Structure 1
Amino acid sequence: MGKKEKNPKAVGAGRMLAWQSRAISQGCALMAIGFLSVYCTDTLKMNPALVGTLLVVSKLLDGFTDIIAGYLVDKTNTKWGRGRPYELCIVGVWFCTWLMFSCSPQWSTVVKSAWILCMYALVNSIFYTFLNANNTVYMVRAFRYEEQFVAINSYGSIISMLGTVAFNIAFPICMSRFATSASGWSMLMAMFAIPLTIIGLMRFFFVKETVDVDVVDENGEKEKVNFRDVKKVLTRNPYIYIVALIMFVSNFVMNMGVNVYYFTYVARDVSKMGIISAIQMIGIPAVIIFPAVIKRFSTAKLMFVGCFVSAFGYAINFFSGGNMVLLGIAAVCYGVGSVPISMLINLLIIECANFNEWKGMQRMEGTLGCVTGFATKIGSSIGAGVLGVLLSASGYVGDMSLIPDSAVMMIRSLFSIVPAVLWVVVAASLLLYKLDKLMPQIKSDNEERRKAIAEKTTGQQEG
């Protein structure tokens, strides 16, 4: 009996795990930074409005660094590949995150502010920027087939989601034990930073770039990327801005950091936060049906439905208080609703790159990744910034016995009404995303053009 032939379009378990390792590490880092606001207000005793302002100010660098990073990644050509070398930035993410949570309460407000601003800017404006820029660039050169893209962004994302959910369960438990002082916060971050840095480097060591997808000219020569190509992409591809809006809202909601305030001052038990994070895992198995749904409908339509499910879940939060049944139902809803976006967003970026090629432009996956990466960071920082400003305006004080009703109502609204409205806005924007309908024609035309150039080049070489 003959040996069963291996499916070339399949992604092996080992390669799948290695690819998702950095997503686990990076996702956990984002979750950790989501606790920065409560660390600054309750441990360092900094004014919430000041903290929010610092986080927003740090974003002034991002408009510049994101475009530069995308351009540099698109131009990179090393023996390791184009996107792969930038995987090393995960080391900088975790090192600076640890430093960010190692600030001394004894320092003056000016020194504290400068320290937090500097570390936060390094994480977001430098290291995280390059990780966003290289992700799609790396993926389309490490995997050859569309089925592999769908697999690693659906089935594979279960691995990264389980990793971040495990972090969300473990971190609040460890936080209640260790994060009772500034030194405790530093120790807590080190406990997670060291192993997650090692995990985050697995993709770099075990997944190589082996696929050539670069656009070639009529003579078969690879077209060189220049800064004019960046301008073309930013002005001629409207769909990437819809993808950017999706990422902005997703990260605004996820990184507001209001959860810990809600479970402290409304539910009055921060340990329940870990339980709710565990309940969100119920939505993960839904990913099993994603490839079939995408084939019949599209990635964008799947996200459209997810937005409304998320909005419904957050609306329930407003009436939940400390009721674990209602909080659990809400968590299942926005957990299920967020899965398509968190797992499949790279598929939309690839569609935008295919659109660029169809319109006669460079694919520019790095630049596209930076547009969405910029939106991701702006969303997370403005979320944290808005949280600080609104808490301060509502009269928030970091004391259970002194917190006014106005601050409690603000916390409830930020945990429910605000994200519900934002997800409805995203759903409306997806109605303008037309690439899912155009994609069959785009892929066909791109393939015919590449085939024609390859035949012409072969003919010239034979002649």
Structure 2
Amino acid sequence: MLAEEQKVVISKSISAEAPGHKEMLNYGLGFFGVILVWTLVGTFLTFYYTDVAGISAGVVGTLMLVARLFDGVTDIGMGTLVDRTKSKHGKARPWILWMGIPLGISIILLFSVPDIGGTGKIIYAYITYILLILVYTAVSIPYKTLLGLMSQEPNKRSMLNIYTGIFTMLSTLLITVLAQPVASAIGGTAGWTSVAVFCGIAITVTSFLAFRSTKERVGVSAAEQAKKDIPLKIALKALFTNKYWLIITVYCVIAYTLNALLAGAGLYYTTYILGNAAYFSLIGMLLFLPTIIGFFFIPKLVKKFGKRNIALFVSVLGIFGPLVKMIDPFSLYVFSVGTVIQGFGLLPIIMFLYAMINDTAEYGEWKFGIRTQGLVNSAASFGMKVGAGLGGALIGWLLAFGGYAGGLEVQTSSAVSMILVLNIYIPLILAVLQTVLMWMYKLDKQYPQILADLNERKP
């Protein structure tokens, strides 16, 4: 009976003008462009630097970590800036409008390293990579924050996340399957620049469509304190004492390190372990096969069992992927089967993660009386960026440690061993840690009561 009363109270707290399917579709479409950029950089930039631009693996590894750590720091600043933004378009939407074109230009520059000598290439790589991550942050943080501002109702928020998951899957598959064949067909730097041009045009168009077709609700009608600036010191104290935000942020670090390894190290595996770079398109598609299947069942399962329980189950299942690969690492068939199983571990990232992050904002408001939607998203995004940077750094450093030399047809046995470590053994450890963290996240049980309590506090 209490649960039913809570549902009634919660329903009264939600604006009658909830986002419809068309609005959610356009929000998801915006993510299509964002994830095109993220996937191109996360999957192919390391390989582009080492095997096309001719930059050493060790230098690339350091660049990946330094740039991503810097990126993480800017995330915090961007989140604070979003929380303090006041415009007729809201808090998050104007940034999506302003930064779409700069992001399109920066991705093209990133994959256009000129032949200006070893030192010149490194300097160019640092400048263009840091430029890209600054602009990417100015787009991605508002996008993630907008999800929490469009609706406070848990099912709508989950549906928004599922829409983003559909477009995330489509854009990831598009880049994973087609980028390498297209770039190889054109050849050299020109091939990768052409792929980047496509992504640059896509992010410009989809950003405008997402801005034009979405509406912020929660920040205007439900969060009174959004009308005043919260001192950063107080906001950060509330953030770092929010236990569920801490859990989900560490989860982001682990999950995105794992994702970076599966994506960034995969092309080295198909090239030097399986013997054919073209296999990477197949492996990339198989990795997302569970997600494709999951879209037909996940929405109903989430309503019945909750985001956390489904995420925990598929995380446990994903652990068995690397174990299967160990049976015969040099077999395409065995590696493919292991990849499909491992793909279940990606489901939480694609389908639940942004909704779960935004749920921690309600917990923080309920627990500490402070709502900082932008800061919550930017700080969790810091975990994603650190994870992606750590994954990229591990690829570069371990390849360099193994004596990897870009462009060679045959690598040394130590380099081959490092490729195996990057693709099988480290991902196994990370999959276990990811599962443990998801087991610790138990906010779903409290969430209905939290929303009911927040509704009662309103004047």
Report how far residue 12 of structure 1 moved.
Answer: 4.4
**C-alpha separation in 2, matches of 1:229 and 1:418:** 38
Evaluate the alpha carbon distance shift between residue 229 and residue 292 of structure 1 in structure 2; reply closer, same or farther with a 3 A threshold: farther
Task: Summarize the alignment of residues 25-174 of structure 1 with structure 2, pairs less than 5 Å apart.
Answer: 25-33=33-41, 34-88=43-97, 89-105=99-115, 107-124=116-133, 126-143=134-151, 145-174=153-182
Question: How far has the Cα of 1:320 moved from its partner?
Answer: 4.6
1:234 and 2:242 are equivalent in the alignment: no
1:199 — aligned with what?
A: 206
Shift of 1:406: 1.3
Change (3 A) 1:181 1:341: closer
2:337 to 318, 329, 333: 329
* Distance in structure 2 (CA, Å) of the matches to 1:353 and 1:253: 25
Task: Name 2:8's counterpart in structure 1.
Answer: none
For 1:269 and 1:53, the matched residues in 2 are separated by 28
Counterpart secondary structure, 2:90: coil
Question: How far 1:83 sits from its partner (Å)?
Answer: 0.6
Question: 1:154, 1:343 within 8 Å by CA — same for their partners in 2?
Answer: yes
Cα offset, 1:123, TM superposition: 1.9
CA deviation profile, 1:392-447 (whole Å, cap 9, x unmatched): 10111224444111111211221111112101012112232232232232122111
Report the alpha carbon displacement of residue 274 of structure 1 after superposing the two structures with TM: 1.0
Could you tell me which of 193, 202, 207 is aligned with 1:186?
A: 193
Structure 1 Cα separation of the partners of residues 272 and 144 of structure 2? 41
SS at match of 1:225: coil
Aligned pair partner of 2:260 in 234, 238, 255: 255
Residues 177/146 of structure 1: CA separation in 2 closer, same or farther (3 Å cut): same
CA drift of 1:249 comes to 2.2
Distance in 2 between the 1:299 and 1:260 partners?
A: 32
3-state DSSP of counterpart to 2:319: helix
Give the conservation status (yes or no) of the 8 Å contact 1:71–1:230: no
Structure 2 CA distance for aligned equivalents of residues 123 and 227 of structure 1: 26
Q: Given the alignment of the two structures, is residue 427 of structure 1 paired with residue 435 of structure 2, yes or no?
A: yes
CA shift for structure 1 position 144: 5.5
* C-alpha spacing 1:195/1:158, structure 2 compared with 1 (3 Å): closer
Report the Cα offset of residue 92 of structure 1: 2.6
Distance in 1, matches of 2:159 and 2:275, equals 41
Deviation at 1:281, TM superposition (A): 4.2
The Cα shift of 1:333 comes to 1.5
| SS of alignment partner, residue 295 of structure 2 | helix
Higher relative contact order (CA 8 A, sep 6+): 2
Distance apart, 1:129 and its partner CA: 2.0
AA matched with 1:39? Y
Cα 1:204–1:369 change in 2 (3 A) is: same
1:207: how far off? 1.5
Q: Which residue identity lines up with residue 385 of structure 1 in the other structure?
A: A
Distance 1:137 1:268, change over 3 A: same
Deviation, 1:27, is 1.2
- Contact 2:266/2:423 (<8 A) preserved: yes
Range moving further from structure 2, 50-59 or 282-291: 282-291
- Per-residue deviation, 1:60: 4.2
Between stretches 425-434 and 320-329, larger displacement belongs to 320-329
Q: Deviations over 1:87-112 (max 9, x none)?
A: 1323333321210111113x132221
Aligned counterparts of 2:30 and 2:236: Cα–Cα separation in 1: 30
Query: In 2 relative to 1, CA 277–320 (structure 1 residues): closer, same or farther, beyond 3 Å?
Result: farther
Contact 2:249 2:380 in 1 (8 A): yes
Partner of 1:313: 321
**Counterparts in 2 of 1:440-455, with a 5 A limit?**
440-450=448-458, 453=459
More displaced 10-residue stretch of structure 1: 279-288 or 29-38 = 279-288
In the alignment, does 2:422 pair up with 1:417? Answer: no
Report the Cα offset of residue 11 of structure 1: 5.5
Q: When you count helix as a share of all residues, which structure comes out higher?
A: 2
User: 2:6 — aligned with what?
Assistant: none
User: Structure 1 residues 91 and 112, CA, compared in 2 at 3 Å: closer, same or farther?
Assistant: same
- Given that 2:238 and 2:368 are in contact with CA atoms closer than 8 Å, whether structure 1 keeps it comes out as no
* In structure 1, distance between residues paired with 2:301 and 2:196: 39
Distance 1:133 1:356, change over 3 A: same
Q: Which moved more, 1:69-78 or 1:402-411?
A: 402-411
In the TM superposition, what whole-angstrom CA distance separates every residue of 1:105-157 from its partner, at most 9, and x where no partner exists?
3x132221121111111222x22223343234312333363322111212552
Q: Distance in 1 between matches of 2:213 and 2:173?
A: 24
- The structural deviation recorded for 1:223 is 4.3
State which drifts further: 439-448 or 386-395.
Answer: 439-448
Structure-2-length-normalised TM-score:
0.88
Quote the residue 1:246 is aligned against: 251
Unaligned runs of 5+ in 2: 1-15
How many Å apart are 1:197 and its aligned residue? 2.9
Bigger radius of gyration among the two: 1
Q: In angstroms, what is the RMSD of aligned CA positions?
A: 2.3
**Contact 1:83 1:137 (C-alpha < 8 Å) held by counterparts:** yes
Establish whether residue 208 from structure 1 lines up as the match of residue 218 from structure 2: no
CA distance in 2, matches of 1:285, 1:10: 28
Distance 1:378 1:270 in 2: 28
2:255–2:434 Cα contact (<8 Å) kept: no
